[in-house]
A and B are shown apart, each in its own frame.
Chain A
Amino acid sequence: MSDIKQELRAYIAENFIVSATASLTDEASLLDSGVVDSTGFIELISFLEEHFGIQVKDEEMVPENLDSIANLEAYVKRKRG
């Protein structure tokens, strides 16, 4: 597992519903699975910016970038270049 993915999983497990996180696949929607709600979503954005040192633009807040661990990992990699 990549470092980014590991760090994302650790953050989600610590901050959101842990019981749902254990069985969460990399491709599962964080919103649809109930792991992250609307407040959790903005917490996640803050985490991405502070932890990975990236700036999430308003127009980048779409499921293709942010709604699964796999999408988040790919997004962070792209942003870091």
Chain B
Amino acid sequence: MSAPFTPAALELDCEAEIARITARMQDIVFNRLRRKGVIVAMSGGVDSSVCAGLAVRAFGPEKVLGLLLPEHESAGTSAELGEVVARQQGITFLTEHIGPALDGLGCYRRRDEAIRHVFPDYTAEWKSKIIIAGGGVAGMTFFKIVVQPPGGELLEKRLPARDYLQIVAATNFKQRIRKNMEYYHADRLHYAVIGTPNRLEYDQGFFVKGGDGLADLKPIAHLYKTQVYQLARHMQLPDAVCNARPTTDTYSLAQTQDEFYFGLPYEKMDVALWCHIHGRPAAELAAAIGITEAAAERAYGDIEAKRRTTAYLHARPVLIDDVPEIGH
């Protein structure tokens, strides 16, 4: 029988892992993708910052272009931190404000229209976010919209399906327009685009298809979030990056990833996913992260439910017949 989970299971030999990843990145970009360098969109978060650091170690700063892609509702710290990391790593970077493109597409207008179905007094001056609720049973979750008028208190209501879907569809413009801009620069420079999901996001489908899910290589998709933080500290990225809690930076009210999607803080989600992948009983997960066995069973059920629900996001376009000459 395997030894029970301990945090050591998630500890990396950072130097060896960086050497392994960067060697693979060089081979993938130069030999397989046949591109000259890479684009990294830098949000100031730990995932994109670590990817930028890895890219610099793999290709040298002169073959990495950093993009800062703020929109009207980005946290001010995002672009600032992205710039700090780019400067620290010696990366050339460009700022492309995607707010006007999002205005043109009606991103904010379409979202606000759906919010007004629930809060008729809501105006563009209010702030908003979506939070996950329920969760007593895997799959039996629902979403609430939280709004805040200027100077007022937080208000929340459950979202009907059509309004929830319209809000998500509208905000997905943000990730998709960012990706358009990344590929503009990639095409211009004959570069590859780096995708920055960690293992939790990749496994659990926490990305937008054709948005942040789209990339040419994803160098940290095999790493648990706690491991990404280990690499960040090992690479001596700024403290503000190494110590930041992950947020979505998608809604105008601050929103952590666990209140929108995962249901557990990332440290616990890492352990839950590791234990699930390694076939550990729920009782072992419960002991490892201090929850009841029933809650651990629900966490396992939720992991499986999210995999099922988001399989569509990972799927390539489905053909009626195979085209074997193309390889699939």
A66 touches B140 (CB 8 A): yes
Known: A58-B133, A58-B134, A62-B137. A41 touches B160 (CB 8 A): no
A58 touches B161 (CB 8 A): no
Of the listed stretches A4-12, A19-27, A31-39, A73-81, chain B binds A31-39
Select which of A37, A58, A62 is within 8 A of B308 by beta carbon.
Answer: A37
A39 contacts across to B, CB distance below 8 A: 161, 165, 309
A42 contacts across to B, CB distance below 8 A: 142-143, 159-161, 164
Q: B-side binding surface: helix, strand, loop or mixed?
A: mixed
Select which of B136, B138, B139, B161 is within 8 A of A45 by beta carbon.
Answer: B161
A67 touches B161 (CB 8 A): no
Total A residues in contact with B, Cβ cutoff 8 Å:
18
CB of B243 within 8 Å of the partner chain: no
Bound complex: CA A31 to CA B160 (Å): 19
B123 contacts across to A, CB distance below 8 A: none
A37 contacts across to B, CB distance below 8 A: 139, 305, 308-309
B139 touches A46 (CB 8 A): no
Bound complex: CA A44 to CA B160 (Å): 10
Contacts of B6-32 to chain A: CB distance below 8 A: none
Contacts of A28-57 to chain B: CB distance below 8 A: 31, 34, 36-39, 41-43, 45-46, 49
Known: A58-B134, A62-B136. A38 touches B305 (CB 8 A): yes
A49 contacts across to B, CB distance below 8 A: 160
CB of B88 within 8 Å of the partner chain: no
Bound complex: CA A9 to CA B223 (Å): 44
* Size bin of chain B's contact surface: 20 to 34
CB of B188 within 8 Å of the partner chain: no
CB of A18 within 8 Å of the partner chain: no
B141 touches A38 (CB 8 A): yes
CB of A17 within 8 Å of the partner chain: no
Known: A31-B140, A58-B134. A43 touches B161 (CB 8 A): yes
B164 contacts across to A, CB distance below 8 A: 42
Bound complex: CA A49 to CA B160 (Å): 9
A67 contacts across to B, CB distance below 8 A: 137, 140
Select which of A34, A43, A46, A63 is within 8 A of B140 by beta carbon.
Answer: A63
Cβ of A44 to closest chain B Cβ, rounded Å = 8
29 pairs of residues in contact across A and B, judged by CB atoms under 8 Å: A31-B138, A31-B140, A36-B139, A37-B139, A37-B309, A38-B139, A38-B309, A39-B161, A39-B309, A41-B139, A41-B140, A41-B141, A41-B142, A42-B142, A42-B161, A43-B161, A45-B142, A45-B160, A45-B161, A46-B160, A46-B162, A58-B134, A58-B142, A62-B136, A62-B137, A62-B140, A63-B137, A66-B140, A67-B137
> B residues engaging A (CB < 8 A)?
133-134, 136-143, 158-162, 164-165, 305, 308-309
> A residues engaging B (CB < 8 A)?
31, 34, 36-39, 41-43, 45-46, 49, 58, 61-63, 66-67
Which 5 A-B pairs rank lowest in CB-CB distance, beginning with the nearest?
Answer: A43-B161, A46-B161, A31-B139, A42-B161, A46-B160
